[in-house]
Amino acid sequence: MKKIAVFASGNGSNFQVIAEQFPVEFVFSDHRDAYVLERAKALGVAAYAFELKEFDDKAAYERAIVALLEQHEVDLVVLAGYMKIVADTLLARYEGRMINIHPAYLPEFPGAHGIEDAWHAGVDQSGVTVHWVDSGVDSGQIIRQERVPILENDTLESFEERIHAMEYKLYPEVIRELLSHL
């Protein structure tokens, strides 16, 4: 069976959806106080957390992550709200085996605030994108995308809820497909 690790920085709602459908080898967070760690504990999933500031530099931080991934023989790294830019040390070992979900229809609205950026731009739709991770910010090859319209009576909050609902549908579909081809 192929092994997946999920990386998350905060709440971990996408992790929860994934872990309820797939065996997750472990979750990693770059914040020791992230709620995703509580979710992992409740689901009986191993969890690790350490922060960049605990290391001499980003390369050392990423070497520690690579060691964890190799120790657990992880086949696919799934970023789910992981808010760090992946750098060369981690990419050198896992490029082509690391995916990310982004709450906008790329290349529209890359970066940390895709939902809010789309909302404030006044567009009539945005979406959700699953893509391979590369050295850029939300610039990797797109695997799948789905559009989410902004409805006439939407608030930012209702639009955000529908974006997340699409994430919860799309990400497991893509993961299932990728695992069948690894």
| Active-site residue (options: 31, 102, 113, 120) | 102
Cα 137-138-142 angle, rounded to 5 deg: 145
83 is in an annotated binding site: yes
Cα-Cα-Cα-Cα torsion 113, 31, 57, 100, nearest 10 degrees, comes to -50
102 is catalytic: yes
Task: Report whether 17 belongs to an annotated binding site.
Answer: no
On whether 13 is known to bind a ligand per the annotation, the reply is yes
Is 84 one of the annotated binding-site residues? yes
14 is an annotated ligand-binding site residue: yes
The reply, when asked if residue 100 is annotated as ligand binding, is yes
Residues designated as active site? 102
**Binding-site entries for (6R)-10-formyltetrahydrofolate:** 58, 83-86, 100
Q: Show binding-site residues.
A: 12-14, 58, 83-86, 100
